[in-house]
C-alpha cells in the first residue's frame, strides 16, 4: 500500500489547478505528441522542486497535441533514483476508459486534448525527493508523451 501511495504522490506532481502555475518540465522523449502545457496545483514555478503535501489533493492538467491518430492511451509513472526508473502501480492506467481524464479516444492528429486528474498524496507516504517521469504510451507501446521533473514530498 505504501508503494501505491508513493506512486500516486509522484504522479500527482504532474498535476494542476488550485494555485495553477504552468510548471517547467523536461521532455524526456515524447514521440507521438507535442506537450503544450502542464499545470500542477501545488507547484510554484519559482521553486526548484514541485512540492507535494501529504494528505492534500493534487490537481493535474496537461494540454497535448498528437501528431498522429491514437487509439489507446495508458499512463505510467516512475520514480527516478540514481538514473534508475522504478515503476509505480497506478489505479487507472487506461486513460481512455477513465471518464474523469477528459480524453475521448481515439485521439485525432493535430487536435489538442486536455488531460486532467486529481490525486491524493497519502499521509503515510514517506517524505522524499525524487525525479518523477510520467509517460503516456499507445497500443503499440510507443511513447506518446514523456515528462520528467523534480518532486519533494512533505
User: Is the pLDDT assigned to residue 11 strictly greater than 60?
Assistant: no
Confidence (pLDDT) at 24: 66
User: Is the pLDDT assigned to residue 79 strictly greater than 90?
Assistant: no
Lowest mean pLDDT among 15-19, 109-113, 122-126: 15-19
% pLDDT > 70, the chain: 84
User: Is the pLDDT assigned to residue 146 strictly greater than 70?
Assistant: yes
Q: Which H or E run includes 35?
A: strand 33-40
Residue ranges and CATH numbers for the domains of the chain are 32-153 (2.60.40.770)
Instruction: State the residue for C-alpha cell 477528459.
Output: 102
pTM for the whole structure:
0.78
Cβ–Cβ < 8 Å for 88, 6: yes
Confidence (pLDDT) at 33: 97
Amino acid at each position: 500500500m505504501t508503494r501505491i501511495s508513493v506512486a500516486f504522490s509522484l504522479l500527482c506532481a504532474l498535476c494542476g489547478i488550485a494555485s495553477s502555475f504552468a510548471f517547467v518540465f523536461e521532455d524526456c522523449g515524447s514521440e507521438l505528441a507535442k506537450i503544450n502545457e502542464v499545470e500542477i496545483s501545488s507547484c510554484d514555478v519559482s521553486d526548484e522542486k514541485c512540492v507535494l503535501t501529504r494528505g492534500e489533493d493534487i490537481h493535474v492538467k496537461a494540454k497535448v497535441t498528437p501528431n498522429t491518430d491514437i487509439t489507446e492511451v495508458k499512463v505510467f509513472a516512475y520514480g527516478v533514483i540514481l538514473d534508475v526508473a522504478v515503476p509505480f502501480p497506478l489505479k487507472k492506467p487506461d486513460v481512455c476508459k477513465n471518464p474523469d481524464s477528459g480524453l475521448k479516444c481515439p485521439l485525432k492528429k493535430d487536435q489538442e486534448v486536455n488531460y486532467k486528474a486529481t490525486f491524493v498524496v497519502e499521509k503515510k507516504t514517506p517524505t522524499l525527493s525524487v525525479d518523477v517521469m510520467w509517460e503516456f504510451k499507445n497500443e503499440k507501446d510507443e511513447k506518446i508523451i514523456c515528462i520528467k521533473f523534480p518532486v519533494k514530498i512533505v
